[in-house]
Protein backbone atom coordinates (compact mmCIF):
# COMPACT_ATOMS: atom_id res chain seq x y z
CA UNK A 1 0.00 0.00 0.00
CA UNK A 2 2.72 2.46 1.03
CA UNK A 3 6.24 1.89 -0.13
CA UNK A 4 9.34 3.94 0.67
CA UNK A 5 11.95 3.22 -1.97
CA UNK A 6 15.48 4.27 -0.90
CA UNK A 7 14.22 7.63 0.31
CA UNK A 8 16.69 10.27 1.49
CA UNK A 9 16.08 13.84 2.52
CA UNK A 10 18.86 16.34 2.87
CA UNK A 11 18.40 20.04 3.60
CA UNK A 12 20.30 22.79 1.79
CA UNK A 13 22.67 23.20 4.73
CA UNK A 14 23.78 19.58 4.28
CA UNK A 15 21.81 18.08 7.18
CA UNK A 16 20.62 14.61 6.25
CA UNK A 17 17.36 13.95 8.11
CA UNK A 18 16.27 10.81 6.24
CA UNK A 19 18.96 8.44 5.08
CA UNK A 20 18.17 5.78 2.48
CA UNK A 21 14.96 4.42 3.96
CA UNK A 22 13.12 1.53 2.33
CA UNK A 23 10.03 0.11 3.96
CA UNK A 24 6.56 -1.14 3.13
CA UNK A 25 3.34 -0.55 5.03
CA UNK A 26 0.52 -2.99 4.28
CA UNK A 27 -3.23 -2.32 4.33
CA UNK A 28 -4.83 -2.66 7.75
CA UNK A 29 -1.58 -2.36 9.71
CA UNK A 30 -1.13 -0.27 12.83
CA UNK A 31 2.48 0.87 12.73
CA UNK A 32 4.21 2.83 15.45
CA UNK A 33 7.27 4.84 14.44
CA UNK A 34 9.44 5.59 17.44
CA UNK A 35 12.70 7.40 17.97
CA UNK A 36 14.37 10.27 19.78
CA UNK A 37 13.69 13.88 18.81
CA UNK A 38 15.49 14.56 15.56
CA UNK A 39 15.44 10.90 14.52
CA UNK A 40 13.46 11.84 11.40
CA UNK A 41 9.93 10.70 12.35
CA UNK A 42 8.20 13.98 11.54
CA UNK A 43 10.12 14.38 8.28
CA UNK A 44 8.99 10.88 7.29
CA UNK A 45 5.38 11.93 7.97
CA UNK A 46 5.87 15.16 5.99
CA UNK A 47 7.18 13.12 3.07
CA UNK A 48 4.07 10.94 3.29
CA UNK A 49 1.83 14.02 3.20
CA UNK A 50 3.90 15.50 0.34
CA UNK A 51 4.58 18.55 2.52
CA UNK A 52 8.26 17.81 1.86
CA UNK A 53 9.90 16.29 -1.21
CA UNK A 54 12.66 13.66 -0.99
CA UNK A 55 16.14 14.54 -2.22
CA UNK A 56 16.33 11.04 -3.69
CA UNK A 57 14.11 7.96 -3.79
CA UNK A 58 10.36 7.61 -4.17
CA UNK A 59 7.30 7.21 -1.96
CA UNK A 60 4.58 5.12 -3.59
CA UNK A 61 0.93 5.01 -2.57
CA UNK A 62 -0.38 1.91 -4.31
CA UNK A 63 1.44 2.33 -7.62
CA UNK A 64 1.64 6.14 -7.66
CA UNK A 65 4.69 8.20 -6.83
CA UNK A 66 3.01 10.72 -4.54
CA UNK A 67 5.62 13.41 -5.16
CA UNK A 68 4.72 13.47 -8.81
CA UNK A 69 1.06 14.16 -8.12
CA UNK A 70 -0.17 17.65 -9.05
CA UNK A 71 -3.35 19.68 -8.63
CA UNK A 72 -6.49 17.54 -8.52
CA UNK A 73 -4.54 14.28 -8.20
CA UNK A 74 -2.73 15.60 -5.10
CA UNK A 75 -6.04 16.80 -3.64
CA UNK A 76 -7.56 13.36 -4.23
CA UNK A 77 -4.56 11.64 -2.63
CA UNK A 78 -4.84 13.84 0.46
CA UNK A 79 -8.51 12.95 0.78
CA UNK A 80 -7.44 9.30 1.09
CA UNK A 81 -5.09 10.16 3.95
CA UNK A 82 -6.43 11.39 7.29
CA UNK A 83 -3.96 13.30 9.39
CA UNK A 84 -3.77 14.08 13.10
CA UNK A 85 -1.15 16.48 14.48
CA UNK A 86 0.38 16.91 17.91
CA UNK A 87 -0.87 20.52 18.03
CA UNK A 88 -4.33 19.54 16.69
CA UNK A 89 -4.32 22.24 13.96
CA UNK A 90 -8.03 22.85 14.05
CA UNK A 91 -9.38 25.90 12.25
CA UNK A 92 -9.91 28.31 15.16
CA UNK A 93 -12.87 30.26 13.79
CA UNK A 94 -14.87 27.12 13.02
CA UNK A 95 -16.82 25.07 15.56
CA UNK A 96 -16.03 21.39 16.15
CA UNK A 97 -18.90 20.52 13.80
CA UNK A 98 -17.66 22.93 11.11
CA UNK A 99 -14.07 21.68 11.38
CA UNK A 100 -15.20 18.14 10.69
CA UNK A 101 -17.74 19.22 8.07
CA UNK A 102 -15.04 21.22 6.29
CA UNK A 103 -13.21 18.04 5.28
CA UNK A 104 -16.44 16.65 3.83
CA UNK A 105 -17.33 19.91 2.09
CA UNK A 106 -13.83 20.08 0.62
CA UNK A 107 -14.34 16.55 -0.72
CA UNK A 108 -17.60 17.68 -2.35
CA UNK A 109 -19.85 15.49 -0.20
CA UNK A 110 -23.60 16.02 -0.27
CA UNK A 111 -25.21 18.23 2.39
CA UNK A 112 -27.43 15.40 3.62
CA UNK A 113 -24.40 13.14 4.12
CA UNK A 114 -22.64 15.92 6.03
CA UNK A 115 -25.65 16.47 8.28
CA UNK A 116 -25.84 12.73 8.98
CA UNK A 117 -22.16 11.77 9.24
CA UNK A 118 -20.62 14.67 11.23
CA UNK A 119 -22.75 14.26 14.39
CA UNK A 120 -22.29 10.49 14.13
CA UNK A 121 -18.47 10.73 14.00
CA UNK A 122 -18.41 13.35 16.75
CA UNK A 123 -20.51 10.94 18.79
CA UNK A 124 -17.90 8.21 18.13
CA UNK A 125 -15.23 10.42 19.70
CA UNK A 126 -17.65 11.33 22.51
CA UNK A 127 -18.06 14.98 21.56
CA UNK A 128 -21.65 15.17 20.40
CA UNK A 129 -22.55 17.51 23.25
CA UNK A 130 -19.79 19.94 22.34
CA UNK A 131 -20.09 19.95 18.57
CA UNK A 132 -20.97 23.65 18.46
CA UNK A 133 -18.02 24.67 20.62
CA UNK A 134 -15.07 26.53 19.09
CA UNK A 135 -11.60 24.96 19.57
CA UNK A 136 -10.65 27.48 22.28
CA UNK A 137 -13.67 26.31 24.26
CA UNK A 138 -12.41 22.71 24.27
CA UNK A 139 -9.69 20.98 26.30
CA UNK A 140 -6.56 19.59 24.61
CA UNK A 141 -7.95 16.06 24.64
CA UNK A 142 -11.25 17.22 23.19
CA UNK A 143 -9.50 19.19 20.45
CA UNK A 144 -7.50 16.10 19.54
CA UNK A 145 -10.68 14.06 19.34
CA UNK A 146 -12.14 16.67 16.96
CA UNK A 147 -8.95 16.36 14.87
CA UNK A 148 -9.39 12.57 14.79
CA UNK A 149 -13.04 12.98 13.79
CA UNK A 150 -11.94 15.28 10.97
CA UNK A 151 -9.29 12.79 9.90
CA UNK A 152 -11.69 9.83 9.69
CA UNK A 153 -14.81 11.56 8.38
CA UNK A 154 -14.02 10.84 4.71
CA UNK A 155 -13.21 7.20 5.46
CA UNK A 156 -9.57 7.50 4.43
CA UNK A 157 -7.40 4.50 3.63
CA UNK A 158 -4.66 5.64 6.02
CA UNK A 159 -4.63 7.67 9.20
CA UNK A 160 -1.34 9.36 9.99
CA UNK A 161 -1.04 10.51 13.58
CA UNK A 162 2.08 12.57 14.31
CA UNK A 163 2.67 12.54 18.08
CA UNK A 164 -1.08 12.75 18.68
CA UNK A 165 -0.72 12.41 22.44
CA UNK A 166 2.31 14.68 22.85
CA UNK A 167 0.27 17.50 24.41
CA UNK A 168 -2.15 15.36 26.40
CA UNK A 169 -2.42 14.07 29.97
CA UNK A 170 -2.34 10.25 30.58
CA UNK A 171 -6.13 9.90 30.69
CA UNK A 172 -6.63 11.70 27.36
CA UNK A 173 -3.65 9.81 25.93
CA UNK A 174 -5.36 6.53 26.76
CA UNK A 175 -8.62 7.70 25.16
CA UNK A 176 -6.92 8.83 21.94
CA UNK A 177 -4.98 5.58 21.60
CA UNK A 178 -8.16 3.57 22.14
CA UNK A 179 -9.88 5.57 19.38
CA UNK A 180 -6.97 5.01 16.98
CA UNK A 181 -7.00 1.31 17.82
CA UNK A 182 -10.74 1.16 17.13
CA UNK A 183 -10.23 2.90 13.79
CA UNK A 184 -7.57 0.33 12.90
CA UNK A 185 -9.81 -2.55 14.00
CA UNK A 186 -12.37 -1.29 11.49
CA UNK A 187 -9.79 -1.81 8.73
CA UNK A 188 -8.06 1.57 8.33
CA UNK A 189 -4.27 1.59 8.20
CA UNK A 190 -2.85 3.68 11.06
CA UNK A 191 0.66 5.15 11.19
CA UNK A 192 1.52 6.56 14.56
CA UNK A 193 4.66 8.42 15.61
CA UNK A 194 5.24 8.68 19.32
CA UNK A 195 7.73 9.09 22.17
CA UNK A 196 5.42 7.32 24.57
CA UNK A 197 6.78 3.92 25.61
CA UNK A 198 3.52 2.97 27.36
CA UNK A 199 1.47 3.39 24.22
CA UNK A 200 3.78 1.34 22.04
CA UNK A 201 4.18 -1.45 24.56
CA UNK A 202 0.42 -1.69 25.17
CA UNK A 203 -0.43 -1.77 21.48
CA UNK A 204 1.79 -4.77 20.81
CA UNK A 205 1.79 -4.06 17.06
CA UNK A 206 4.47 -3.37 14.47
CA UNK A 207 7.17 -0.95 15.67
CA UNK A 208 9.67 0.85 13.45
CA UNK A 209 12.55 2.42 15.35
CA UNK A 210 14.41 5.33 13.80
CA UNK A 211 17.76 6.83 14.66
CA UNK A 212 19.64 9.59 12.83
CA UNK A 213 17.34 9.36 9.83
CA UNK A 214 17.70 5.58 9.45
CA UNK A 215 15.45 2.66 10.29
CA UNK A 216 17.39 0.74 12.91
CA UNK A 217 14.72 -1.79 13.86
CA UNK A 218 11.46 -3.01 12.32
CA UNK A 219 9.56 -5.50 14.51
CA UNK A 220 6.22 -7.06 13.63
CA UNK A 221 5.06 -7.11 17.22
CA UNK A 222 7.50 -4.91 18.98
CA UNK A 223 8.24 -2.96 22.12
CA UNK A 224 9.64 0.50 22.64
CA UNK A 225 13.40 -0.03 22.82
CA UNK A 226 16.12 2.54 22.15
Q: Does 116 bind other proteins (CB under 8 A)?
A: no
Q: Does 70 bind other proteins (CB under 8 A)?
A: no
Q: Does 9 bind other proteins (CB under 8 A)?
A: no
C-beta closer to other proteins: residue 131 or 215: 131
C-beta closer to other proteins: residue 48 or 180: 48
Q: Does 65 bind other proteins (CB under 8 A)?
A: no
How far is residue 77 CA from its own chain's centroid? Answer: 14
Residue 45: CB atoms within 10 Å: 21
Residue 33's DSSP bridge partners are 193, 208
Of 8, 69, 102, 167, the one binding other proteins (CB under 8 A) is: 102
Helix (H, G, I), strand (E, B) or coil at 192: strand
Of 75, 137, 178, 219, the one binding other proteins (CB under 8 A) is: 75
Q: Does 107 bind other proteins (CB under 8 A)?
A: yes
Distance CA 217, CA 204 (A): 15
C-beta closer to other proteins: residue 83 or 200: 83
Q: How many residues bind other proteins (CB under 8 A)?
A: 26
Q: Does 43 bind other proteins (CB under 8 A)?
A: no
Taking phi over 0 as left and psi of -120 to 50 as alpha, with beta for the rest, 4 belongs to beta
Q: Is the dihedral of CA 43, 45, 48, 52 positive or negative?
A: negative
Q: For the chain, where are the alpha helices, taking DSSP H only?
A: 41-48, 71-79, 96-106, 111-124, 140-152, 170-185, 197-203
Q: Does 92 bind other proteins (CB under 8 A)?
A: yes
Q: Which of residues 120-179 bind other proteins (CB under 8 A)?
A: 150-151, 154
| Binding site residues, other proteins, CB under 8 A | 49-51, 72, 75-76, 78-79, 83, 89-94, 102-103, 105-108, 110-111, 150-151, 154
Amino acid sequence: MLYFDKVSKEYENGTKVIDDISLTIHPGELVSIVGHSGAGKTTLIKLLLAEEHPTSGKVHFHSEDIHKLRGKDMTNYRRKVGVVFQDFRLIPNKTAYENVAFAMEAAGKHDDDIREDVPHVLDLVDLKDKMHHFPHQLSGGEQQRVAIARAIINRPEIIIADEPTGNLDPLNTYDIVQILKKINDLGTTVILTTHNKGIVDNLGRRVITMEDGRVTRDQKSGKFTM
